[in-house]
Amino acid sequence: MTSRHTHTKRIEGLDKNVWVAFTSLAADPSVVNLGQGFPDIPPPSYVKEALAQAASVDKMNQYTRGFGHPSLVKALSQVYGKVYERQIDPLKEILVTVGGYGSLFSTMQGLVEDGDEVIIIEPFFDCYVPMVRMAGAKPVLIPLRLKSGKKTVTSADWFLDPDELSSKFSSKTKAIIINTPTILSGRDELQMIADLCIKHDTLCFTTLPGMWDRTITISSAGKTFSVTGWKLGWSIGPEHLMRHLQTVMQNTIYTCPTPLQEAVAQGLQHNFELMGQPECYFSSLAEELEGKRDRMAAFLQEAGMPPVIPEGGYFMLVDVTPLNQDLSHMVQDEAYDYKFVKWMIKEKKLAAIPVTAFVGEESKKQFEKYIRLCFIKVNAKKLPVANQRKHTALPKVLG
């Protein structure tokens, strides 16, 4: 076979992917999967019905508007208009994409150039770094640091050092990526970031008062309505930035599936009317998850593994140091948490995700005793079983 046809430079070194590595390990039905972030609870029935209905309309099975199905962008402009308290133009300030992922990609490709720098806060959703690199730019990483001396740690105890953050901005800095809610969601910190963005004329992928003109906000139908398998997301921002994302869309995917967009539009419409009320799915889901979060945190604490109680999102980081698990028999050149998770899947039939997948090389030591668990899972079966499994690890520590 021909030897000159190897990969292109833009994908150099991007072949490793934590999900591809761990999803197949966790797919074994005997493994309790608290790894990848998707619910195993059903989405709200009106959302599923909306899709079935949309698919039965002829027109809904054919191409729709490239930048977003009209009824969907309209619903998005209403919902987010209310959230941001501003008028959002559905045609110029919104782009519908293949998942939040597709929005990240369109943003990176549309706004980040060769030679730019992009600041990423560790731990970060793992795709940010390869996407920045694929756009020809350089990721500049800054870790969240833990305030010491706390008994119960919450995500609020992790902070960004203001001086350290300020030092990461340079004349080449194009953008900073924020992911919230997750570990970072304190208002003061977001304001500090905003101030630096304005000072250095940097784009910021989040939104705060005064930040509209330089921010792209990315969101997901999959996470909003517990339908990760629908792979629909959107970006919202000012026209002068959004039109570059739209150009990327025109030249990569062109348009998103119609019936899925129609169904999400209906789901948003339904909840828009309920916003602020307890029946609104945006509130009721959060409430349901708070309960699950507390249960998981409780049993982890009982098992002697300090969790980082999250203020938002559906993941929890857990420090496995107290287990003192000896993994010297695992000889691969991998961080401790990668080995721990593989060991845990094999020996304890419990899957999680290693947190060093979400940090750069230099921060690996700081994070390699942490694993990530997802708690948007059905009450009845998973959590108690996971609990038991963790308990069996305890005797080793205590005895």
Partner 1 sequence: MSRQLQARRTAWLEFTQLAADHRAVNLGQGFPDFSPPTFIQEALREALSGGYQMHQYTRVFGHPPLVRILAKFFGRIVGREIDPFEDVLVTAGAYQALFCAFQALIEEGDEVILVEPFFDCYQPMVELAGGKTVHVSLRPSQKVEGSGVPSSGDWVLSPEELASKFNPRTKAIVINTPNNPLGKVYKTEELQVIADLCVRHDVLCISDEVYEWLTYDGNKHVKIASLPGMWERTVTIGSAGKTFSATGWKLGWAISSVHNMKNLKIIHLGSVYQCPTATQEAVARGFEREYELFGTPESYFQQLPAMLHQKREKLASCLGAAGLQPVMPEGGYFMIADISSVKVDLSDQSTEDEPKDFTFVKWLTKEKGLATMPVSTFYSPEHRREFSQYVRFCFVKEDSTLNAAEDILRKWSQTQ
Among 130-138, 150-158, 280-288, 388-396, the segment contacting partner 1 (CB under 8 A): 130-138
Applying CB under 8 A, does 45 fall inside the site for partner 1? Answer: no
Instruction: List binders of partner 1 among 273-302 (CB under 8 A).
Output: none
Q: What is the DSSP string of 245-291?
A: HHHHHHTTT----HHHHHHHHHHHHHHHHHTTSTTSHHHHHHHHHHH
Q: What is the DSSP string of 311-333?
A: SSSSEEEEE-GGG----TT--SS
Instruction: List binders of partner 1 among 193-222 (CB under 8 A).
Output: none
Phi and psi at residue 119, to the nearest 5°:
-85, 130
CB of 163 to partner 1, least distance (A): 33
Q: Figure out which of the listed residues 72, 75, 79, 135 binds partner 1, where binding follows CB under 8 A.
A: 135
Instruction: List binders of partner 1 among 49-68 (CB under 8 A).
Output: 51-52, 55-56, 58-64
Applying CB under 8 A, does 94 fall inside the site for partner 1? Answer: no
Applying CB under 8 A, does 128 fall inside the site for partner 1? Answer: no
Phi and psi at residue 6, to the nearest 5°:
-105, -170
State CA 45 to chain mean position distance. 24
Q: Figure out which of the listed residues 72, 95, 96, 105 binds partner 1, where binding follows CB under 8 A.
A: 105
**Parallel/antiparallel/unpaired status of strands 307-309 and 315-319:** antiparallel
Residue with Cβ nearer partner 1 (16 or 86): 16
Nearest to 262 by CA among 70, 76, 17: 70
Q: Which residue has the tokens 């002829």?
A: 58
Applying CB under 8 A, does 255 fall inside the site for partner 1? Answer: yes
Q: Figure out which of the listed residues 115, 229, 291, 384 binds partner 1, where binding follows CB under 8 A.
A: 229
State CA 314 to chain mean position distance. 9
Contact 357, 38 (CB under 8 A): no
Number of residues that bind partner 1 (CB under 8 A): 71
3-state secondary structure of 149: coil
Applying CB under 8 A, does 392 fall inside the site for partner 1? Answer: no
Applying CB under 8 A, does 271 fall inside the site for partner 1? Answer: no
Among 106-114, 160-168, 310-318, 347-355, the segment contacting partner 1 (CB under 8 A): 106-114
Q: Figure out which of the listed residues 35, 68, 90, 102 binds partner 1, where binding follows CB under 8 A.
A: 102
